[in-house]
Amino acid sequence: MNICDDASLLLNDLNTAQREAVAAPETHVLVLAGAGSGKTRVLVHRIAWLLQCQLARANHILAVTFTNRAANEMRDRIQKLLGYNPSGLLTGTFHGIAYYLLRQHWQLAQLPETFQILDSDEQLRLIKRIIKEAKIDDKVFSPKKIQQFINACKEKAQRAQSVVLMSTDRETQAALTVYQFYEQTCQQSGLVDFTELLLKTYELLRDDESLRKHYQTRFKHILVDEFQDTNYLQYEWLKLIAGPAAKLFIVGDDDQSIYSWRGARIENIQLLPVEFKETLLIRLEQNYRSTKMILTAANAVIRNNKNRLGKELWTNGTEGDPLFLYKAHNEINEAEFIVHKIKLLGKDYHNNAILYRTSSQSRVLEEALIDQQIPYRIYGGMRFYERAEIKDVLAYLRLAVYSDDDAAFERIINTPKRGIGERTIEPIRALARQQGISLWRASRLLLADNGFKGRAAKTITEFLHYIESLIEQTHTLLLSDLIKKIIETCGLPDFYLKDNKEEGQRRIENLAELISAARQFEIFNRDEEKPILTFLAHATLDANNDNANETNHVQLMTLHLAKGLEFKRVFLCGLEEGLFPHQNSLDEGNVEEERRLCYVGITRAREQLYLSHAETRYYYGERSYSRASRFIREIPAELIDHIRFNNAPNYQANVKNKNEKFAIGTPVLHHKFGRGIIVDKEGQGEFTRIQVDFSENDCKWIILAYSDIELL
């Protein structure tokens, strides 16, 4: 038995299409992987196949994913499948691999060896500073919009000097001015934002023929996951590193392309077979997640999209329940129905997910869950490394390893409060601008020239001496011990407790967890030559809340956050025209992406799917009628079971009974406005409203169906 005979064992537990993909010849391959079709399995087995068949050595393979979690999972599964760790195999996110390349070639990239990654919040902070220095009115020119402009330019591989303005309005011109100053500041401070990681490596490979050929020779097989989510820069970056010889193995699903609003281009996956000739197209259509009913509904909806490569999901699994559809009176009634159903279905709350189009929909759902004492969690909350207290400590660490880091300097110069205000900081900025140096160096020069007076001189001196002591300790202390030292000596814990004791205690607990994270990092990265730099990069690049505690709670999330997840039971609510599909998408003619989002929502369910819409809903403080979503009409009627909510008839009866009791002249009590007298009444049914004279609080109009007003 030869090597490939041994490798054939890898195919035993795969279906026909998966085997075809894993054992595909050495050509470009596009695997169109439907939801729940085992795409990660195919990627992992393909890499193992290449190694077992000796088609490539480990260091000839590059595997690109979109999240750190996916990259870690891929590495673990490859090792388990092979029985050993393939040394030299490079796997990671686009940004993680770009960071690796820049760290290897920092001199060619014209970066300091200790360059730092600027996260989104710090990038915005720096932009605000530049806006202020350029005397641009930030009330007229939004820093957030300018940040979006800069990142959008970079994603198109456009430097400030190469941007051709399509508009000459003042805001766009101001954004370009800030972009120019922003580039200069980042260059002199050794700062690299997320998009810059990719742009810098793209330019490096584009402009340095020797380096480009080196990596094009090294990487003979390049595998990319979630390809439908790539943007222009990522695709161009990929083409450069692939060159004319590397074989691409692309996995993606054009039916799940839902991130155009953050730069993803569905055209990348649709045009790949055109751009890369002789691309083998393989469809993974067998689904291992959902019932036949759910898949038939998903296929029926997505079939209405015209621009797609096309596939039909199927399963050998059970027929399953029909889709349950509930027509609610309003959003409150919709929430009551969902929570009532969850309660009836038992206490395995973790098997339930409530999905919605916009985050604002969660309010009434949360209130209903709280009312019924059902535990829940809003999925996608603040991540560990995004928390302010973590960023504060890491800023001290960053300044200790690279004192020219202006973003870190700005963040902690007066955190905790040291009495260093804008009047003290502004001369530092002015000198830094004038001489083209960092804020740290400008501070030292001003001190040497007696540029600070009185208390300011003392405080700045103490701050610089403190950072210098940390710089010395970077050479003697372990990473975790250095972080612990910073926490114990920088004054942040007392600062947090002084501000708010309860919140401060929570923050201190998070800082303790940061020390634990650093210790764990040390254990798993014992051979790392520059552990502090790598840990800082890890903290900034980490895009997953992987360590969230698993508890028995209902999960609430937007449809965009649901991608990649699955649940036994899904409640897909708010299926109304203008809400889902969203009005903005309808106005922009982008209903196909909304339909793909619906397809994603439907295919999150394994066993049961509940759909709901409301006849009326509050928008911007006003109640309006809603039409059922077109996506409901696109599901074959025979798949849907219209259900009633037992409390619904009582709801209408209660409204009518309540309305009749509240007559003009009746005294009432409101929980917020106090006692009053009804002076007017209008409307019918759930739209009945009364005008109440609350004396001190004036007259208020109140809708009876949605208030807790009582008769006296």
Identify whether residues 515 and 600 lie together within a single domain.
Answer: no
Position 549, amino acid: N
226 tagged catalytic: yes
Inside any domain, residue 439: no
Whether residue 621 is predicted with pLDDT greater than 60 in this model: the reply is: no
Whether residue 696 is predicted with pLDDT greater than 80 in this model: the reply is: no
Catalytic position from the list 225, 254, 406, 576:
225
Inside any domain, residue 152: yes
Identify whether residues 278 and 346 lie together within a single domain.
Answer: no
Instruction: Tell me the percentage of the chain whose pLDDT exceeds 70.
Output: 92
Residue 220 assigned as binding residue: no
Identify whether residues 92 and 226 lie together within a single domain.
Answer: yes
Residue 38 assigned as binding residue: yes
CATH number at 422 reads 1.10.486.10
pLDDT band, very low/low/confident/very high, at 510 (cuts 50, 70, 90)? confident
Whether residue 648 is predicted with pLDDT greater than 60 in this model: the reply is: no
Whether residue 517 is predicted with pLDDT greater than 90 in this model: the reply is: no
Identify whether residues 171 and 136 lie together within a single domain.
Answer: yes
- The closest alpha carbon to 611, from 586, 637, 589, belongs to 637
Q: What is the pLDDT of residues 217-266, one digit of tens each?
A: 999 999 999 999 999 999 999 999 999 999 999 999 999 999 998 889 99
Q: Which residue has the tokens 């403080």?
A: 621
Give the pLDDT confidence score for residue 514 in this predicted structure. 87
Identify whether residues 213 and 96 lie together within a single domain.
Answer: yes
CB contact set of 65 (below 8 Å; sequence gap of 6+): 71, 74, 91, 92, 93, 225, 226
Whether residue 199 is predicted with pLDDT greater than 60 in this model: the reply is: yes
Identify whether residues 402 and 465 lie together within a single domain.
Answer: yes
Q: Give yes or no for a contact between 90 and 100, defined as CB atoms under 8 angstroms apart.
A: yes
Identify whether residues 399 and 464 lie together within a single domain.
Answer: yes
Q: What is the pLDDT of residues 76-121, one digit of tens each?
A: 999 999 989 898 999 999 999 999 999 999 999 999 999 999 999 9
Identify whether residues 96 and 136 lie together within a single domain.
Answer: no
Residue 360 assigned as binding residue: no
Burial level of 25, CB count in 10 A (0-12/13-18/19+)?
exposed
pTM: 0.78
Give the pLDDT confidence score for residue 370 in this predicted structure. 83
The DSSP call for residue 156 is T
Q: What is the dihedral of CA 229, 22, 243, 163, to 10 degrees?
A: 0
* Average pLDDT over the chain, rounded to an integer: 89
Catalytic position from the list 18, 19, 39, 542:
39
Q: Regarding beta strands 699-703 and 689-693, do their DSSP bridges make them parallel or antiparallel, or are they unpaired?
A: antiparallel
Inside any domain, residue 540: no
Q: Regarding beta strands 689-693 and 674-682, do their DSSP bridges make them parallel or antiparallel, or are they unpaired?
A: antiparallel
Q: What is the pLDDT of residues 551-572, one digit of tens each?
A: 799 999 999 999 999 999 999 9
Domain range for 180 is: 116-189
At 256, is the secondary structure helix, strand, or coil? helix
Q: What is the pLDDT of residues 213-225, one digit of tens each?
A: 999 999 999 999 9
Range with the poorest average pLDDT among 17-21, 511-515, 616-620, 672-676 = 616-620
Instruction: Tell me the percentage of the chain whose pLDDT exceeds 90.
Output: 63
Q: What is the pLDDT of residues 411-442, one digit of tens each?
A: 999 999 888 888 899 999 999 999 999 999 99
Identify whether residues 74 and 211 lie together within a single domain.
Answer: yes
Inside any domain, residue 535: no
The helix (run of H) or strand (run of E) holding residue 325 is: strand 323-328
Q: Domain tally for the chain?
A: 5
228 tagged catalytic: no
689 tagged catalytic: no
Inside any domain, residue 661: no
Q: What is the pLDDT of residues 45-65, one digit of tens each?
A: 999 999 999 999 999 999 999
Q: What would the mean pLDDT of 339-343 be, rounded to a whole number?
A: 95
Residue 98 assigned as binding residue: no
Catalytic position from the list 116, 228, 234, 256:
256
Catalytic position from the list 40, 184, 188, 534:
40
Q: What is the pLDDT of residues 17-37, one digit of tens each?
A: 999 999 999 999 999 999 999
In DSSP terms, 555 is beta-bridged to 353, 377
6 tagged catalytic: no
CA 193 to chain CA mean position, Å: 16
Q: What would the mean pLDDT of 139-153 be, rounded to a whole number?
A: 87
CATH number at 590 reads 3.40.50.300
Identify whether residues 404 and 357 lie together within a single domain.
Answer: no
Give the pLDDT confidence score for residue 172 in this predicted structure. 85
604 tagged catalytic: yes
Q: Give yes or no for a contact between 612 and 326, defined as CB atoms under 8 angstroms apart.
A: yes
Catalytic position from the list 226, 236, 389, 592:
226
Highest mean pLDDT among 298-307, 450-459, 516-525: 298-307
Where b means 16+ CB within 10 Å and e means fewer, 485-521 reads bbbeebebbebbeeeeeeebeebbebbeebbebbeeb
Distance CA 140, CA 365 (A): 37
Residue 34 assigned as binding residue: yes
256 tagged catalytic: yes
Q: What is the pLDDT of residues 349-383, one digit of tens each?
A: 999 999 999 887 887 888 789 889 999 888 875 56
Give the pLDDT confidence score for residue 4 in this predicted structure. 67
Residue 168 assigned as binding residue: no
Give the pLDDT confidence score for residue 9 in this predicted structure. 83
Identify whether residues 408 and 489 lie together within a single domain.
Answer: yes
